[in-house]
Structure 1
Amino acid sequence: MSMSAANKTAIALEAVIFDWAGTLVDFGSLAPTQIFVDAFKSFDINITLQQARGPMGLSKWQHIRTLLDDADIAAQWQRCTGRAPTDQDVDAIYARFMPMQIAKVGQYSQPIDGAAQMLAWLRGRGLKVGSCSGYPREVLDVLLPLAARDGIAPDHVVAGDELAAGGRPGPYMALANVLALKIGDVAGCIKVDDTVPGIEEGVRAGMWSVGVSLSGNEVGYTHRELVGLEPAKVSALKAQAEQKLRAAGAHYVIDSVADLPGVVAQIEARLKVGERP
């Protein structure tokens, strides 16, 4: 804390702002990662799922730009085309990626266990529910009605391609939720995300930032795959994910959003004694 709690005025918790893939839906954040692999493969460029996960949380155009800036991937591009990748190449991959993502996102729209109940619990406490995503609006237009049928329907949604200021790790999408939901103080908000850029987004917006480990991109396993692992392996994956999320500034890290109520109670207690993020 930059100032002592005694010098601060207590405020109330007002809202929780969520990421989508790996946080509310799509355990393991598989939809975007596999499509990145497939999109690059259509240009004869081979990337791994691990490489595809690296920039997760960024807008999808910026995600592709970051992948093409990777030394190994750039070298592949140079060998295939005889030149370094340009922004026009990013546009071309993005144009290939988008219809593939739109076609496939519905297959990964299942809510994470406990997410719908957790959202109902938040609303029962009078809290507003915001959300934002690295997904462009065209993809969210497919995902949102499917998720709503399963009880995942935030009060506001910001897409990764619709703010002129840009996306993560900047604070802009989180702050757009603050404006739309009419939040009185950013310190009365919690940002929940499974990626490093998403945690940085919440920190830069002045919010409490909560990382999600086991259900998210940093672990990157389906629920079925996790259940099949030895407990020691699961613990190691969880610890590694938690370290990355805390290094990005997460105030708390939970296994999945089903565990959020306990953190909400802790943050509310800290706000009551005048603490801020």
Structure 2
Amino acid sequence: MNAITSSEFQTLNSQAVDLSPLQAVIFDWAGTLVDFGSLAPTQIFVEAFATFGISITLEQARGPMGLSKWDHIHQLLQEPSIAAQWNSMFGRAPSDADVDAIYARFMPMQIAKVGEFSAPIDGAVQVLQWLRANRLKVGSCSGYPREVLNQLLPQAAKAGIAPDHVVAGDELTAGGRPGPYMAIANVLALGISDVRACVKVDDTVPGIEEGLNAGMWTIGLSLSGNEVGYSKEEYSAADSVDVEAKIAVAEAKLKKAGSHYVMRTISDLPAVLAKIAERMRRGELPNS
């Protein structure tokens, strides 16, 4: 999985790396820092819809990933085949009240399950240590509501994942992704002087759009995230040709969304940040 080994991390820390004028990296959570394959939300969407007699596939559940969970459910209900099922089951088109009802069913299921998917993605702990050693601040935001993050964060912290600031998908009145609001909230909380000195790292299209809308550099994650969707076990057992094909599709989608760079997992971040910093020293900006 191209994780950073202990010896490689020691070598990385011993090398002089000029990351100026970068100031911060803002991460997504599932599929980026923890939960290889972004599995925690996906299966719960399937199960929550099933309690209403509605069948959705894992692929459908992954489609709107990166949005806040209420918006995610709302968008799923707009999908023609799902909306048709709802109409057949209840004799009417789905409404916002129905989104509320599914969300209310989804939340306790997600809270109960999210801790099972709190394991750091290989290399994440070392990379966060490396960022701090190089004086970069570490922010984060998520489509998860605060109640879910309250279950996830303590367990992730015990494993070594503890950003300087965390913004949940339901706690800003301005809204969530693809708007810039959670990313900007990190800028304010971390005391960053220039949004153009921030890098947003995310595995979803709405997350990349969030960073772009905030005026930041953006890095998409292919292998570890929602777009490929393998569990670690599935990835280990998968045919290499199939793996590369899925990665190619994920990379193309994230590049089309506007990612400045696409990498496979967080282990690749140090090298990509060095490239961004070099471009900034040449006078390049995210929107150039």
Do Structure 1 and Structure 2 share a fold, with TM-score over 0.5? yes
In the alignment, is residue 121 of structure 1 matched against residue 104 of structure 2? Answer: no
Q: 1:35 aligns with which of 44, 50, 53?
A: 44
Cα distance, 1:231 vs structure 2 = 1.2
Residue matched to 2:59: 50
CA distance in 2, matches of 1:65, 1:207: 28
Q: 2:264 aligns with which of 251, 255, 258?
A: 255
Q: Which amino acid aligns with 1:104?
A: K
CA distance in 2, matches of 1:273, 1:127: 20
Cα distance, 1:229 vs structure 2 = 1.3
Q: Report the 3-state secondary structure (helix = DSSP H, G, I; strand = E; otherwise coil) of the residue aligned with 2:65.
A: coil
Post-superposition Cα deviations, 1:172-229, rounded to whole Å, max 9, x if no partner, equal 1000000000111111000000000000000111100000000000000112211211
Residue matched to 2:211: 202
Q: Which amino acid aligns with 2:285?
A: R
Residue matched to 2:70: 61
Residue matched to 1:266: 275
Residue matched to 1:230: 239
Identity %: 70
Residue matched to 1:167: 176
Q: Report the 3-state secondary structure (helix = DSSP H, G, I; strand = E; otherwise coil) of the residue aligned with 1:157.
A: strand
Post-superposition Cα deviations, 1:78-112, rounded to whole Å, max 9, x if no partner, equal 00000000000000000000000000000111100
CA distance in 1, matches of 2:235, 2:246: 10
Cα distance, 1:160 vs structure 2 = 0.1
Residue matched to 1:71: 80
Any gaps of 5 or more consecutive residues in structure 1? 1-10
Aligned length: 267
Q: Report the 3-state secondary structure (helix = DSSP H, G, I; strand = E; otherwise coil) of the residue aligned with 1:104.
A: helix
Cα distance, 1:62 vs structure 2 = 0.3
Residue matched to 1:186: 195
Any gaps of 5 or more consecutive residues in structure 2? 1-19
Post-superposition Cα deviations, 1:95-154, rounded to whole Å, max 9, x if no partner, equal 000000000000111100000000000000000000000000000000000000011000
The two structures have a TM-score, normalised by structure 1, of 0.96
Q: Report the 3-state secondary structure (helix = DSSP H, G, I; strand = E; otherwise coil) of the residue aligned with 2:193.
A: coil
Q: Report the 3-state secondary structure (helix = DSSP H, G, I; strand = E; otherwise coil) of the residue aligned with 1:117.
A: helix
Residue matched to 1:84: 93
CA distance in 2, matches of 1:97, 1:70: 18
The two structures have a TM-score, normalised by structure 2, of 0.92
Q: Which amino acid aligns with 2:226?
A: N
CA distance in 2, matches of 1:145, 1:117: 18
RMSD: 0.6
In the alignment, is residue 246 of structure 1 matched against residue 255 of structure 2? Answer: yes
Residue matched to 1:145: 154
Cα distance, 1:270 vs structure 2 = 0.7
Residue matched to 1:275: 284
